[in-house]
Amino acid sequence: MRIGSILENKIIEKRIAITPDIIKKYSSLGFEVCLSENYGSHLGIKDDEYLKLGAKVLQDENEILRSSDIVVQLGMLQDEKSSILKENQILIGALNPYDNKDRLEKLSKNKINIFSLELLPRITRAQSMDILSSQANLAGYKAVIESFSNFEKAIPMMMTAAGTIPAAKVLVVGAGVAGLQAIATAKRMGAIVFATDVRIASKEQVESLGGKFLLVEGSESLETEGGYAKEASDDFKKKQEELISETLKKIDIVICTALIPGKKAPLIIKDNMINNMQPGSVIYDLAAVQGGNTAFTEVDKIVEKNGVKIMGENNILNKLPVSASSLYAKNMFNFIENLFDKKNKKFNINYEDEIINKTLIK
């Protein structure tokens, strides 16, 4: 049995799906690992490191795709590469099923088994495979670091003989995995942190990290059965807008993390709100790729409006590719281990397994 992975387009994706520390685990399942030449060289991982652990390194990426029983990637393969895949092969990755629906359906019709890990159910057994959580955790941390580096004042309160510098005030919009990590990171660095979310259940989590939860008056929990946020009513949006608008007048840094799976990111911070913010404030918008949570967010640009810097990136994890790859590779292995029948040494696509059923593109 062979598991293969080829290079991503490094301009848009620096993470890799197989790291050296995971090779032995694949070998223990009876897999031969096959990677393209210079697979991890941009992360400081030489081919020799993989070879010493028993992996094969090939120059011909097409041969890797043709000969592998299972192909693991970060994103969707380019059309010319995916056309090489044949019946009964398995493709696993973060394949963006909402934007790549037609391409994935075409592959599925060709009897290729496709699993997109963004679709994992939020159940206890799937936690070790949950790429959204592992990657969002790092994104929330890095968003705080990036915004603080662009804020031209000190973050913690500092008492000196010359006077006192007040602590920076941070607002985190959206208290999912990324938002909670942003709260924890900002608190560790000495900021005063506020947070808001449409899910009332997140109030306790925010407060446990030392944040102050901004509760919309008369709100009800807007949470799906899978634990994700769902779209709010017009009445809720109006009340939330009033609360955030008033809060932003005293906020120095905003971290936006609000996303709805498969939909455009909700517009939460409007132009009039930004106009009322203090000049020198910074907004980091993690929802930039899905349209952004602010009126002025642009991907891979720092937009300045009324003295407020608004930041958003196509892939913030490209700034933490080593850590992000390590976690992603472990998530991937845990998913494959669940898919593999150790006794009979073959893959078992068991439709009664919720993890398999939910992630399989049908």
Catalytic site includes residue 233? no
Q: For residue 361, give the 3-state DSSP assignment.
A: coil
Rounded-to-integer distance, Cα 339 and Cα 224, Å: 26
What is residue 360's predicted lDDT score, i.e. its pLDDT?
A: 95
> Residues 49-57: what's their mean pLDDT?
97
130: in domain: no
pLDDT band at 285 (very low <50, low <70, confident <90, very high): very high
Q: For residue 143, give the 3-state DSSP assignment.
A: helix
Provide the CB-side half-sphere exposure for 273 (13 A, CA): 22
Rounded-to-integer distance, Cα 308 and Cα 288, Å: 16
Same domain membership, residue 228 and residue 103: no
195-249 pLDDT, tens digit each = 998 888 899 999 999 999 998 776 555 555 555 555 667 777 788 889 999 999 9
Q: Which of 36, 73, 89, 133 is catalytic?
A: 133
Same domain membership, residue 89 and residue 196: no
Q: Which of 26, 50, 130, 240 is catalytic?
A: 130
Same domain membership, residue 179 and residue 193: yes
132: in domain: no
Rounded-to-integer distance, Cα 163 and Cα 167, Å: 13
235: in domain: yes
Catalytic site includes residue 103? no
Strands 113-116 and 346-347, how do they pair? Answer: unpaired
Residue 360 β-bridge partners: 115
64: in domain: yes
What is residue 220's predicted lDDT score, i.e. its pLDDT?
A: 58
pLDDT band at 344 (very low <50, low <70, confident <90, very high): confident
Same domain membership, residue 286 and residue 166: yes
Same domain membership, residue 303 and residue 176: yes
Rounded-to-integer distance, Cα 35 and Cα 64, Å: 7
CATH, residue 195: 3.40.50.720
Q: Which of 67, 188, 228, 353 is catalytic?
A: 228
Same domain membership, residue 311 and residue 328: no
Same domain membership, residue 199 and residue 146: yes
Highest mean pLDDT among 226-230, 321-325, 346-350: 321-325
pLDDT band at 15 (very low <50, low <70, confident <90, very high): very high
Is residue 322's pLDDT more than 80? yes
Same domain membership, residue 149 and residue 168: yes
Count CB atoms within 10 A of the CB of residue 290.
20
Catalytic site includes residue 351? no
Nearest CA to 126 among 356, 360, 362? Answer: 356
Same domain membership, residue 255 and residue 149: yes
What is the extent of the structural domain holding 252? 137-318
Q: What percent of the chain has pLDDT over 70?
A: 96
Provide the CB-side half-sphere exposure for 269 (13 A, CA): 34
Q: Quick one: CA torsion of 129, 133, 134, 140, rounded to 10 degrees?
A: 170
Catalytic site includes residue 228? yes
Q: What is the mean pLDDT of the chain?
A: 92
Q: Which of 2, 103, 122, 188 is catalytic?
A: 122
Catalytic site includes residue 15? no
What token pair was written down for 285?
A: 């918008």
Higher pLDDT, 351 or 120: 120
Same domain membership, residue 330 and residue 311: no
Q: Which residues are CB-contacts of 288 (< 8 A; sequence separation ≥ 6)? A: 297, 298, 299, 312, 313, 314
3-state helix, strand, coil in the chain (%, to 5): 40, 20, 45
Structurally, the chain folds into a number of domains equal to: 2
What is residue 238's predicted lDDT score, i.e. its pLDDT?
A: 83
What is residue 223's predicted lDDT score, i.e. its pLDDT?
A: 55
138-152 pLDDT, tens digit each = 999 999 999 999 999
On whether the pTM is more than 0.85, the answer is: yes
Is residue 116's pLDDT more than 90? yes
Q: Which of 28, 127, 208, 233 is catalytic?
A: 127
200: in domain: yes
Same domain membership, residue 244 and residue 160: yes
126: in domain: no
What token pair was written down for 331?
A: 């998530």
311: in domain: yes
271-281 pLDDT, tens digit each = 999 999 999 99
129: in domain: no
Same domain membership, residue 162 and residue 275: yes
